[in-house]
Structure 1
Amino acid sequence: MGVNAEELNQLQQKEFLQALHNEKIKTQSERADYTKSKLAFVIGLFGLGSLKIGAVESHWILYLIPLVAIGYDLYIRAADVSIKKIGAFLRTNPGTTKNEKEWENFSAKYRDTIAPIANTLFTFVVTIAAAMYIYALEQIKNLFFWSVFTSWLLVFLLIIVWMWLTHREIVSKIDNNNPKISDS
């Protein structure tokens, strides 16, 4: 007994949705791993930046802290957007069960706002902390260094705020551009 085209299509759709679920779970795990790695790298850079072995000072490493934190934020946000896109697809796909659609709609309506803010706030705080530590170590001796230091700090703070606003806008578009499909 052969499988007709409709049964084959349903089987393929079921397999695709299962693969999509697996991808979502994998991406959620990757996002968590990126967050843990970000914390470890930033703490490590603070530790290295505070070392002074003989005449060698390594506080210049502190300038990399915002760059590393922002780099990880890009990966974290890319994973987050991927997860949200999968959820939006599942919300609107006719092959998705009613319960799953309801869950995805509920999740989109009541998004966790603490995690994205906490991630951004952490990056913001470590940037300020690195700047304060650099300022304390350098004692800002001349106008040139002061202007470079201030520019460095301002650029990174603006990038952090811009990334947060952009991410919010992208998530909002994902949530709002996917109308609910009726189950009638």
Structure 2
Amino acid sequence: MSGPAIRWWPVVGLSAVFLLGLVVGKRSTPLDDWFSTTGELHPDLGYLLFFTDPPVIAALLAVALLTALWRRRWRLAVAVVATPAVALVLMRVLKRVFGRTKGDDPETLAYPSGHVTVTVAVLGMVVIVVGARLWAVVAASVAAVLAAAGQSFTYHYFTDTIGALLLATSVVCVAAMAVGLDRCQPGCDVRHSTG
């Protein structure tokens, strides 16, 4: 995303989270049903859950944090830890607001997906830590799509994962604005104010 897109995406993304939540309500859509049925017919698709596996995501978060600390980017290090936490809190609030469940357990709230929210928030912070390089954006995007697919084929409705993608990318854009997305070398003048 470019600078202007990073500024307007949080408003668009969060609005879309609410709109999607209102549109799907507490029921599944035909697309949700297709993902669920396909997941039942092809259980090997469950291997895609690797992309939302908590130890994998925790390891990515640790690498991003250690990299930010090594580069002495203190605000970025705080953002690396805070962004997934903020996304997690917002996700929990939204789950209560929409009250959508999947399965027989009425206590298991589904919209938006927590696993995908945290995964995408961490992937987004990894992208920011490495300076939003094209390879990192592509790799994180592919991992995010596979993470969403894994949850869609198993535990969540597809629309739960879309809501999570919208939520997490919105929070990551706010974090990028807060720390100043740095595409230059560590320690340089991010705002290029010294010439």
Q: TM-score if structure 2 supplies the norm length?
A: 0.32
Q: Which has the higher contact order (CA 8 A, sep 6+)?
A: 2
Higher helix fraction: Structure 1 or Structure 2? 1
In terms of Rg, which structure is larger?
1
